Structure 1
Amino acid sequence: MNNTAVDQTSSASPVPPPTPIVEQQPQPQPQLQIPHPANNKAEGRLSRLHVVQQSSSINTHNTAVSVVPEPPSPPTSARLHGPFGQMILDYRSTLTYAPITNSNLHHHETNQKDLRICVAVRKRPLNKHHCLAHVPKSKVDLTTYLDNQTFKFDYTFDEKVSNELVYHYIAAPLIDTMFNGGNATVFAYGKTSTMGGDLSSAKTDYSHGIYAQIARGIFHRLLQPQYRTSLEIFITFYEIYCGKVFDLLNNKKRLRVFEDQNGFVQVCDQQEQQVKSIQDVLNIIQHVRGKNQRRVLVTMDMYNGQPVLVKSSQ
């Protein structure tokens, strides 16, 4: 009787539910999206390009992985997709980003004596009219490819670099050349703050320009005992405009240019003015700029020029 009761109780006990089978979800792949041209206010041009990885095997939280080191965070609409997006990512992953800064200044020292001609480019900040873009193309056989342009410079400076750092690499070595009896030339193209001031400042401050820093370096060298009584500094200020040379210190008088018997180009009859301090140099620059002596060629592309510094020593 008791056994029967036990058997009935056992048969009436509920059967445990089967263990559910959990299927392992595949790891999501990086989502590459690109905004449709119709929704892009910049006429279909791309903004900053990023790949966003939703999750990884190491970190279960959502993370953003940048291909190019240290770019600004892009808007969520500016993402990549498709074969062109992957081609862009593959190309940009091969690029290196190692800007010259004050902290790693001494690690980038170069023997300037080996650089008779040195070319450097300084990147200006982008404004709202400009964005970073890769242009996809197709060949006749419909093969997709990217037309990437590569340029080589001795130095490249980003938009955060100071005028002091540019001066250290571009102009400071030329002061040694001059005091060793050589000739030195610095050409500056674009709005590089060569005349003075900071790119981010609305007010022109000539004391921080490349000219002022070169003058400061020269006069600092003149404080050395061997130069105090033997050297004097004279300054000329002329302009090359449409193949002609004009003296900005003498009411834009046109100057004659010829090549001497040694093969050197000489500018004749230009007015020289002696300077004895950095302030004298700044006063002359302000005088030339204040009288609007320098002519600037205004074009539709006036905001698109990239600054380039070219220096040479003999």
Structure 2
Amino acid sequence: MKEANFLVQEIEQGERLDKFLSSKYKDLSRSYIQKLIMENMVTVNGRSGKANYKVKRDDLIKVIIPEARTPEIKAVEMELEIIYEDESILVVNKAPGLLVHPVPGQEENTLVNALLAYSDSLSGINGVKRPGIVHRLDKDTSGAIVVAKNDLSHRKLVEEFKERDVLKIYHTIVKGNLPHNEGVIDAPIGRDPRERKKMAVTDRNSKEAISHFKVLDRFENYTYLEVKLETGRTHQIRVHLSYLGYPILGDEKYGRSKKNKLPVQRQLLHAYILGFKHPLSGEWMEFKAPLPEDFKSVLKILKKT
């Protein structure tokens, strides 16, 4: 059993209990937290809590999380688009809607499950739930991701990401028409002080974040962009473009409106180019991940209008 106590701060009062706890446990799904509440594993000032309870300043929230046995991660046969493979690494064009690794509530049908079925050689540094995983892409972000097939390759690739020696270029479509053909967004990113599960441009407990953008095409009310990351903060491109006033098409988290006239089911963000030094040979390598069908179909529609 793991126990934790939280004292509600003034800035947090008024939040639902389940939402409050979601901000404290980033790796737990809201549904799992609600399950803990239903099973009387959460108390408020010594009494059983309810998911919709609005927390008050100085409430004492006690949480008990049962020790979960580490489940065996299943290998699941899934179609993978392999861009490159050798004895040390794999580069995959991740499909949109695919989680990179298992999380509570979804232990199957992730990239890791597919990798276990595809390869019997994956690094083990990141533990049983994340074999081979060096970096991540959001569930609804598609594109190039590198996977380590042994621990030596894993360590060297992680160091490249840490030292910002990796080339990361994305393609996206945003709402609105940017006034400039290219530019730099230099704005620090941290947790949104008003909504802790989101990121925001803020000076409070933030880190440097720099994105370079270039216009690839213009349409009525939309712009097709290439974005190069200089830093790699959580949701960086989504936050920066929303901050400028040009949210990514389909981004319900950072967009200002959930209504779209176009057939979009996710944020149209694609990791188009990934470049790095090969972990063994030291040779510089760059890989392009072809755009997925949903992205191409939206571009086709926009070019006709």
TM > 0.5: no
Higher RCO (C-alpha 8 Å, min separation 6): 1
Q: Structure 1 length as normaliser, TM-score?
A: 0.23
Greater helix proportion: 1
TM-score (norm 2): 0.24
Larger Rg: 1
